[in-house]
A = this chain, B = another copy of it.
């Protein structure tokens, strides 16, 4: 029987890239302390900040909420959960009700915004049209990002934490290279912030493997969603994910090494902050004078 590296209980999980073994209690502790170290390492939170957590209601974002609740309580920081209702019939309600019941239990303020109230259409409605030139996930991603910004501004928070993990991070890095979007690497920097914009985004779980966040969720009794998004279209991302998982299985720790390489590459890309211009429709930062959200929303509204 294998023994936890921290106590004499039986171990149930081996962190293959470090060789550490954990019982359930110490595994959960190690996840929380890893998030805490990531936050310190990259200076993600400052004293007196008002923190929002983007909570879709899936296992990753609910794990983040649990962890941030503990860490913010310790640091005396205010915490608000921010949820976006995209308007996806038969899928979104379950996640939102999970989010609502957990925030209630933890006594965390919960701000919910919807595509319908913000943009005048639900995702279901928008995707019924054919004149988009992007995939459903890219479209929804741009709109959701803005919706979270809106929720954050309403809630009066100045930092928004999202549940991206190490796997998401290295996948996105490689996808940017495979799509030729090298200039986007700079936006991946943990210290990137658009100078003109009152919000900062942080990824406190970016140094945790996906399997670790999933296991944390399971051990924390977080409900897993029973249905997947009906519009899910992952294409390239799932090919990249499979490749990296195969590599990791053969070479334990390789995703971690890759993550560090990505961070080093990213540090060579300094995005000039003066580049962004206010969007002429909504005033939010944009690269060309019309932001992606307004461009897409106008297309949809023209057609709905």
Of A73-81, A201-209, A249-257, the stretch lying at the interface with chain B is: A249-257
Q: Is A258 an interface residue (CB 8 A)?
A: yes
B residues within 8 A CB of A257? 178-180
Q: Are B265 and A177 in contact (CB under 8 A)?
A: yes
A239 contact set on B, CB distance < 8 A: 243, 246-247, 250
Shortest beta-carbon distance from A113 to chain B in Å: 35
Q: Indicate whether A264 reaches chain B with its CB closer than 8 angstroms.
A: yes
Neighbouring B residues of A179 by C-beta, 8 Å: 257
Query: In the complex, how many angstroms separate the beta carbon of A240 from the nearest chain B beta carbon?
Result: 8
A220 interface residue per 8 A CB criterion: no
Which residue of the partner chain, among B181, B185, B254, B261, contacts A182 with CB atoms under 8 Å?
B261
Which residue on B lies nearest to A247, using beta carbons?
B239
Is the beta-carbon distance between B178 and A262 smaller than 8 angstroms? no
Pick the contact of A264 from B182, B254, B258, B262 — CB < 8 Å? Answer: B182
The digit string for A250-284, where 1 denotes a CB below 8 A from any CB of B, is 11001001101110110011000000000000000
Tell me whether A236 is interfacial, beta carbon within 8 Å: yes
With beta carbons under 8 angstroms apart, the residue of B178, B251, B268 that contacts A258 is B178
Copy number in the complex reads 2
Choice from B180, B258, B264 contacting A261 with Cβ under 8 Å: B180
Q: Which residues of A from 205 to 262 have beta carbons under 8 Å from B? A: 236, 239, 243, 246-247, 250-251, 254, 257-258, 260-262
Chain B residues lying within 8 Å of A243, measured Cβ to Cβ, are 239, 243
- Which residues of B sit under 8 angstroms from A265, Cβ to Cβ? 177, 182, 185, 265, 268
CA distance A214 to B129 in the complex (A): 45
Measured between beta carbons, the chain B residues less than 8 angstroms from A178 are 247, 251, 254, 257-258, 261
Which of B181, B236, B251 is within 8 Å of A251, CB to CB? B236
Q: Which B residues are in CB contact (< 8 Å) with A268?
A: 265, 268-269
Q: In whole angstroms, what is the CA distance A179 to B253 when docked?
A: 10
In the complex, A254→B239 CA distance in Å?
Answer: 13
Query: Which chain B residue lies CB-closest to A257?
Result: B180
Name the residue on B nearest A236 (C-beta): B251
**A180, B170: Cα distance in complex, Å:** 13
Residue of B nearest to A239 (CB): B247
Q: How far is the CB of A212 from chain B (nearest CB, A)?
A: 20
CB-based nearest B residue for A182: B264
A238 to B185, CA, bound (A): 27
Known contacts A177-B261, A181-B261, A185-B265; 11 additional CB pairs below 8 A are: A178-B258, A178-B261, A180-B257, A180-B261, A182-B264, A236-B247, A239-B246, A239-B247, A243-B243, A268-B268, A268-B269
24 contacts between A and B (CB under 8 A): A176-B261, A177-B258, A177-B262, A178-B247, A178-B254, A178-B257, A178-B261, A179-B257, A180-B258, A180-B261, A181-B261, A182-B261, A182-B264, A185-B265, A236-B247, A236-B251, A239-B243, A239-B246, A239-B247, A239-B250, A265-B265, A265-B268, A268-B268, A268-B269
